[in-house]
A and B are shown apart, each in its own frame.
Chain A
Amino acid sequence: MLEGEDRARFEAIVLPHLDAAYNLARWLLRNRTDAEDVAQDAVVRAFRAFGAYRSGNARAWLLQIVRNTCFTWLRQNRMAAEFIEFDETTMPQESKNPETLALAGSDREQLTRALELLPESFREILVLRELEGCSYKEIAEITSRPIGTVMSALARARAQLRNSLSQPAPKEARRAV
């Protein structure tokens, strides 16, 4: 529970973005129970840091804390075997085959699986853009990357998502929750 005199201001400015915080955590952690814990942790951290928040984009400010909390959590909790840093240079090239380009029939489950199979940096940028509707400027702020690199990162992330969608479902896909 949050306490203190700043609480009313915090509730008015930051807490309207709680859904955004949870949604980002849910996709980064691929698990709803963990997402709830980590989102709660991130909001408490945000509240503690609220004295330093002056003005500006409250959603981007909160989401930056959420993603940092998520990455810390992942580093601490993930089994070593699962920890594979993604090397963008080895990424498969996007297929120009029209059949793999046409994805209109993709359903929710397929997309969820494909998204969860993506490396975190790609998953993060797609969730921020496609689900959260963030502008490039906000994405740059949240992910602490130069704004000039957001567009090309999105291009690579989308290519990788398409690639992941065109692959057959594994027999035992890792499912969230």
Chain B
Amino acid sequence: MPCEQTQDQLHGYLDGELDPISAANFEKHLDTCPDCKQTLAAEQALHQSIQKANLYERAPESLRKKLLGEPQRQSAAVRSFPAPRVFGWKWLAAAAALLLAVVVSWQQLQKLRGISESQLIAASLVDAHLRSLQPGHLTDVESTDQHTVKPWFDGRIDFAPPVRDFASDGFPLVGGRLDAAGGKTVAALVYARRKHIINVFVEKASENYWNGTGESQGYHWLAWQQNGFSFCAVSDVAPADLEQLRKLISEN
């Protein structure tokens, strides 16, 4: 394979955007081409220095206030996360009633349309992810220490989710919480990726297990089974980042 043809592919490979066959072909090519190997290493180094440099800039509070109309209370723990306006209770009640009606009719509609149950579960986990980004909702136990987060789940759910910190790999543990999805209580492990939040929902694997990957409302999800657990990672990071976290969890 001449290198000119693979130069662009190198970027697709780096970004985890090649289909499995092209990726395998590119890896084969790498073995025989020191030039591409060197370029790939350099691109990886550039990518890492950009990530380390922390160039992402969040919206200032002044902008949020202008758009949301009123100042908001925020706990220190969630200050760095997006904080949509907290509604009054009347709004909440109305919104909850509306949401329930929408969810019920939507679920009926999806069933009629033959949308698979896994997509419904994924959609409910994306909703859970969105809820977690509301002020004060991200973590019940906030700690980067897996030995603090793991025991916290004892007695709260009837299984012990595997909890590991992957800070050295760029996925620091932020904490954990209990969440509800698809009518079940699930464990949610919260990881940070650069300035983004990843929720990893864990439950006991059941018979109608599911896996795969997809996108809903601008959020990506990746689901898999392992050691009797069902995992589903949800975030606005790229699918390649979710795949990297899946590998870390699977290998530990």
A16 with B130: CB separation less than 8 A: yes
Cβ of B228 under 8 Å from chain A: no
- Residues of chain B with a CB closer than 8 A to A146's CB: none
A22 with B59: CB separation less than 8 A: yes
A93-142 contacts to B (CB < 8 Å): 96, 98, 101-108, 111-112, 115, 126, 129-136, 138
Stretch at the interface among B50-58, B147-155, B178-186: B50-58
- Residues of chain A with a CB closer than 8 A to B60's CB: 22, 32, 36
Stretch at the interface among B80-88, B109-117, B135-143, B159-167: B80-88
A101 with B39: CB separation less than 8 A: yes
Shortest Cβ distance from A167 into chain B, in angstroms?
A: 15
Binary interface profile of B, 37-77, with partner A (CB < 8 Å = 1, else 0)? Answer: 01100110111111101111111101110111100000000
Bound Cα distance from A151 to B43, whole angstroms? 14
Instruction: Choose among B10, B39, B59, B193 the residue that contacts A39 (Cβ–Cβ < 8 A).
Output: B59
- Residues of chain A with a CB closer than 8 A to B236's CB: 17, 20, 59, 133
Cβ of A77 under 8 Å from chain B: no
B56 with A36: CB separation less than 8 A: no
Interface residues of B (CB under 8 A from A): 7-12, 15, 17, 35, 38-39, 42-43, 45-51, 53-60, 62-64, 66-69, 82, 84-85, 87, 91, 95, 130, 133, 193-196, 215, 217-218, 220, 236-239, 241
Q: A22-B59, A151-B8 are in contact. List 11 more A-B contacts (CB 8 A).
A: A2-B69, A40-B67, A57-B215, A98-B38, A111-B49, A126-B50, A133-B194, A133-B238, A133-B241, A135-B220, A151-B15
